[in-house]
Structure 1
Amino acid sequence: MSELILSKTDLEGLFAFCENDALKAKAALRLSKLKLPGKKTEHYRYFSIDRILSKSYTLFKPYIAEIKESEDVVIENGVLLSKPKNLEISLCDSDFVDDEHFDNVYYVNHLLSKKAIKLDIKESMSLKIRHIFNKENSLIPYRIFINVDSGVEFELYEVFEGEEAKESLVFYGLDVNVGERDRFDWIRVQDIETPSYSMIASHRVFVKDGGKFDIKSFDIGEGHIAHNLKADLMRGSNANAKHLIYTDKNAIRANITQLVHKEVEVEVSQDARHVLKDNSTAIFDAIVKIEKDAKKAIAHQNNRSILLNDKAYMVSKPQLEIYTDELEASHGSTTGTIEEEEIFYMRSRGIDRKKARKMIIFGFMKELIDSVEDERIKEDILERFERIYERDDI
């Protein structure tokens, strides 16, 4: 195993871990413009990325294990351990790379990931992936490539377990191809009760003509976590993004996204909500880009945040980049606190202060949680919010 301090590693040093010449050429070309990640990287400006890149990690190299049969896909430290019987899954070179991703960690992650876990989705299904991390002081890199055949409806539910991975850093991400007239519904919940691992996840979704892409992300509790998502949307496709963050303690949680209208008649809706407590920070840095040829576009962005403490910090940057004049678009952002009038009204109805605050907070979050159609998944997500919320008095 190799010791690695990313802030002191140059591009040639990263190339030493990669045997794929085509991938190295792509990464070199893109990183010559983006540069290697660091505190000067604009979208990491408030993320304190130097705090995690300056640590020394043992580079963990995922190996090929005997794959067992299970109800869910189980990935431990980037190693595929088990899968459902009828799911087509294999290991392949990590070279499904977007030439124009905005995130430099996306390319570093590919360089450090020798093999990608490839899922071929050829029929409609619902699938759960359990990500387990239990290596301490380690850098754990891996990628997942998902190809969804045309006409298929695919629901993916991701959960993360990492209490034992103290002082580790995870680089992971999805590269997803969504076929024509497909629906890809991606639900991700990441709850952390006590400080353990950090993560920078960089994703890319390519949606072909008429495809539908929904993402519902739920980030709960502590942790130093960023999810970077770029989605390219082709003719007549649709993207609906919902993000809900509840942070406490000293957490830093970030959703950094670019949803790109590439061709005509694309619709995008993005709704983010945040509840921040203690000394925590949440980041919503979201660009909806409408390119020159993407006429008849519809794009709506909205972000609302509640600060429960004076020291909580919200970074809200919803942005529209418009290069055409045939569109319908709007965006907005509000950040505030719980109004004492609301508390007073509920107390006048016999509800104590603690319960009143909880009802207001969960009422604020409810619409996004209720957007999950699968009742079992919805109940699981709600229980995770309840567990983190109830561990301390506000």
Structure 2
Amino acid sequence: MRLMNLKNEELLIDENTNEPIKLIYYPKEEKTNSLKIRIKKGIKASIIEVFAGNDLNEKFTRELIVEDNGNLEYMKYQNIGENSNIELEYNIDLKNDAKIKMTNIELGKGKNINQFNTKLNSINSNLNIYGLVKIANTTNSKSIFKTFHNNQNCFSDIKYKHILDDSSKATFEALSVVNEEALNSKVLQNSNTILLSDDAVIFAQPHLEINIDELEAAHGATTGSLNKEQLLYLESRGIENKKAKQMLLKAFENEVYDNIEDIKIKEFLQELEGERNV
């Protein structure tokens, strides 16, 4: 495990990673508030970044640069307490044929804002962001995306799932702009939310701004409660109500986890789930 306790640094990855690089942050310790991560040409790398604690009140900036034919799989795992208030800003730069796959897991009780700014200026660049926001109490989570397609054959796929309980609130605000130079682009946006309480609220605003005809694009947002017919089916098979709900929620979450390619990242998540802490 690699623990970064630096400020305003650059992490340069110039060889393939055999296992994910782990960046772990706890309150009252020196933190890397501003970090530039650069993946060199043709390199395949995985990174896990964890934000945890009850008194984490910071703003973090991450600049993710993937050079030609590079491939980065990045997972952010967040589990903060009710006294925490964090803001994360990601600025993503993908070169020719570069790919980034991001998975964002947000748990806990604190308030947070996650902003993702991406300019797809190079040919065949590929952006994939999946997220799971699972919150309760009075937690407020905001996920804001601004993606610009500025060159040919670029791909962006942003999919978020929310499980909201009690009086929690979540925002999914996504703007994808496809400019005239971005021929044959593919743009996808989607938000799915399960509300477990009448007081939980989701603000979902997927938005596409299209300036060409030669592309594939789709966006949407759905909100609802757990499927009553599925619950009744499970209960009719002898599964108690609480367990049945857990099974349906787990299936909903697994659509995010299944998107992860690196088995080491999946194993890391399984260990966290087993321990219920970081």
- 1:123 alignment partner, SS class: coil
- Cα separation, 2, equivalents of 1:262 and 1:196: 40
Q: Which runs of 4+ in 1 moved over 3 A?
A: 382-388
Q: Report the equivalent of 1:329.
A: 217
The structure 1 residue matched to 2:49, chosen from 151, 158, 161, is: 158
Verify the 8 A CA contact 2:4 2:32 in the aligned structure 1. no
Q: Which has the larger radius of gyration?
A: 1
Instruction: Give the distance between the partners of 2:179 and 2:108, measured in 1 at CA.
Output: 37
Shift of 1:249: 1.1
Cα distance in structure 1, aligned partners of 2:271 and 2:132: 15
Q: Which has the higher helix share?
A: 1
Q: State yes or no: 1:124 paired with 2:16.
A: yes
Q: Deviations over 1:264-313 (max 9, x none)?
A: 11011221111101111111111121112111111111111100000001
CA 119–141 in structure 1, closer or farther in 2 if over 3 Å, else same: closer
1:330 is matched by which residue type in structure 2?
A: A
Aligned to 1:148: 39
Corresponding residue SS for 2:72? strand
In structure 2, the residue matched to 1:200 is 87
Per-residue CA distance 1:9-29 (angstroms, 9 max, x = gap):
xxxxxxxxxxxxxxxxxxxxx
Call closer, same or farther: CA 1:256–1:173 in 2, change over 3 Å. Answer: same
Map 1:125-274 → 2, pairs under 5 A: 125=17, 126-134=20-28, 142-163=33-54, 165=55, 169-192=57-80, 194-233=81-120, 234-274=122-162
Question: For the structure 1 residues 355 and 386, does the alpha-carbon distance in structure 2 shift closer, same or farther, using more than 3 Å as the test?
Answer: farther
- Equivalent position to 1:282, from 167, 170, 194: 170
Task: Report Cα offsets for 1:157-212 as digits up to 9, x if no partner.
Answer: 1112223x2xx5201121122100101111111013x3132101111010011101
Query: How much does 1:141 deviate?
Result: 8.0
For normalisation by structure 1, the TM-score amounts to 0.66
Give the CA RMSD over aligned residues.
Answer: 2.0
- Correspondence for 1:363: 251
Aligned-pair identity in percent equals 27
Gaps of 5+ in 1: 1-70, 81-114, 389-394
Q: Matches of 2:272 and 2:133 in 1, distance apart? A: 12
Write the mapping of 1:297-308 to structure 2, written as runs, cut at 5 A.
297-308=185-196
Distance 2:10 2:240 in 1: 52
Letter in 2 for 1:73: L
Compare relative contact order (CA 8 Å, sep 6+) and give the higher one, 1 or 2.
2
Distance in structure 2 (CA, Å) of the matches to 1:330 and 1:371: 19
Distance 1:350 1:130 in 2: 42
Please give the residue correspondences for 1:337-376 in structure 2 after superposition, counting only pairs within 5 Å.
Answer: 337-376=225-264
| Residue 262 to residue 292, structure 1, CA distance change in 2 (3 Å) | same
The SS at the match of 2:189 is strand
How far apart, CA to CA, are the structure 2 residues paired with 1:274 and 1:305?
A: 5
Tell me, yes or no, if structure 1 residue 74 matches structure 2 residue 1.
Answer: no
The answer to whether the Cα contact below 8 Å between 1:296 and 1:326 also exists between their aligned partners in 2 is yes
User: How far did residue 340 of structure 1 move?
Assistant: 2.3
SS across alignment from 2:131: strand
Deviations 1:70-115 (A, max 9, x none): x31333xxxx2xxxxxxxxxxxxxxxxxxxxxxxxxxxxxxxxxx6
TM-score of the aligned structures, taking structure 2 as reference length? 0.92
**Higher strand content, 1 or 2:** 2
Cα distance in 1 between the residues matched to 2:144 and 2:64: 17
